Amino acid sequence: MSENVEKVAEQLDKVILDEEGKPLSKKALKKLEKEQEKEKRKQETAARLAAEKSARDANATDCSKGKYGKLPLNQSQERTYQRRERIEDITAERAGETIHFRARVQTARATGSKLCFYMLRQRNSTIQGLVSADDEQISKQMVKFATSIPAESIVLVEAKIVKAAEAVKSCTVQDVELSIQQLWIVSEAVARLPFTLEDASRPEEIFAKEGAQFSRVNLDTRLDNRIIDLRTITNQAIFRIQSGVCRLFREFLTKQEFVEIHTPKIISAASEGGANVFKVSYFKGEAFLAQSPQLYKQMCVCGDFERVFEIGSVFRAENSNTHRHMTEFIGLDLEMAFEEHYHEVMYLIGDLFTYIFDGLKTQYRAEIETIRRQYPFEEIEYPPKPLRLEFKDAVALLRENGVEMGEFEDLTTENERFLGKLVKEKYGTDFYMLDKFPLAVRPFYTMPDPSRPGYSNSYDFFIRGEEIMSGAQRIHDPEYLEERASAAGVDLDTIRSYIDSFRHGASPHAGGGVGMERVIMLYLNLGNIRKSCMFPRDPKRLEP
């Protein structure tokens, strides 16, 4: 007898008696144990068969079988050439059509066991969908499946367009909704979201209301989880506008016969002649990350390209943790030979900005309105021809309003903003040019003003009281350039190739560099440059 049976026998012979009232023998106990095991197996088999029957019955009554589930991994196994729709193209005029499209599940909300409401999203467009059980086409099992899909999963949908009984205000497409007929998971979100897109998309004004109970997603949390944050329709709109600024910049200059160039970002000397430069190891020596394409733009003008521009990264090793500074940003740079006066270039740049602002207003109206819903702002005001002020007149305006500053003193950030407010009140514009800066506050290659000692042929452009562009006429005479560089403490050997490029004849020229992210930040009044940079870099952030 096995050890287990002996133990059972030892326990049972105390309590189990035969018909005569005598304890069962060990042989009888063993027989009893076998009978009990047989009955247990019989019960388990019956339960399994019942479960299988129940499953068969459920499948038999699932009228949606084959209309939902999880698709196999897409390895480009086949092409069906099935037309896929864009949410923004779904209109009330198309009511009754059956369409197919792929989207993300932003939210899934069940109402009982027969109805599930969806918010489906593509890029910066959202639409309401619903899965409604009717026991003929859509089953309760399909509704249960729809409810179980995690937020941010990607699904493939077949749906019928239906006119909405009332406006769906939570979505960008408000006059129709979708009656979902088929629902397939393409890619399931398996990780827990760091925050919901509803929390990340709430209008700022909600948090100012007394008693607001909503969660606020702070900027650092957004940037730490940038991939999720970029999915909000507001960020989709911001970075489409960013793309638009670059496109309009390129478009205008190309029409003005500029040539797009691409210059080195690893250089042998600090391009601005200053200390705020990143050093990098370069084989057995060292190099620097370019602070601007300044020197190369000028060299291209000397190479008879005459009009050039570049869109590229700019690096500044400034330990500035402000709302408008970054250690890497995108520069929109241009350089141009002029005929008689650097104002030819300055006013062309003014027309360039007008072209960009007009283009954003007419071509990106939907994106602007999307952003305004979360970050309310007043659109900038600007005249057809930009306002030009001279630096001395700006100083006089500030002094008239109680600001104490020297004639050749550079503007502080605070004074810049105050000046912007004064200009808006006096001239009715948020955008203007400030000309004739003091020579002492400009780079060594800036041309001095020949008629007013202490000033220079240089200019800045401003939006809402903050600088977005700095530019000037450049010194194109090599001897004079050496003199100015030496006075600024620049080692001439480190810029020898730059100076030598002017020794074979150089046209008078001027240009400037625009901080692309600053333009977006100030145009949309976002308040922080990190909101207008996809993956910002500052003294405290190198990831993601």
CA atoms of 121 and 92, how far apart (whole Å): 18
Neighbouring C-beta atoms of residue 365, cutoff 10 Å:
10
CA atoms of 497 and 493, how far apart (whole Å): 8
Beta strands in 342-483 (DSSP E): 387-390, 431-435, 458-463, 466-473
Taken in order 232, 238, 243, 248, the sign of the CA dihedral is positive
CA atoms of 498 and 295, how far apart (whole Å): 6
Angle at 316 between CA 249 and CA 348, to 5 degrees: 25
User: By the 8 A CB rule, do 368 and 376 touch?
Assistant: no
b/e string for 258-273 if b means 16 or more Cβ within 10 A?
A: beebebeeebbbbbbb
CA atoms of 290 and 266, how far apart (whole Å): 6
Neighbouring C-beta atoms of residue 97, cutoff 10 Å:
13
User: By the 8 A CB rule, do 120 and 150 touch?
Assistant: no
**164 half-sphere exposure, CB direction, 13 A CA radius:** 18
**Of 465, 466, 460, 442, residue with least CA distance to 513:** 460
Helix (H) or strand (E) holding 121: strand 115-122
CA atoms of 451 and 341, how far apart (whole Å): 14
User: By the 8 A CB rule, do 138 and 64 touch?
Assistant: yes
CA atoms of 74 and 102, how far apart (whole Å): 13
CA atoms of 317 and 325, how far apart (whole Å): 10
Q: What is the CA radius of gyration of the chain?
A: 36
| DSSP-assigned letter for residue 124 | T
**Identity of the amino acid at 232:** T
CA atoms of 420 and 463, how far apart (whole Å): 8
| CA distances from residue 312 to 265, 292, 303 in whole angstroms, order as listed | 9, 9, 21
Angle at 290 between CA 287 and CA 292, to 5 degrees: 160
User: By the 8 A CB rule, do 422 and 397 touch?
Assistant: yes
Q: Which two tokens stand for residue 163?
A: 């006119």
Strand partners, 180: 159
Instruction: Give catalytic residues, as residue numbers.
Output: 316, 318, 324-325, 467, 470, 518
Q: Which two tokens stand for residue 9?
A: 């026998």
CA atoms of 18 and 222, how far apart (whole Å): 77
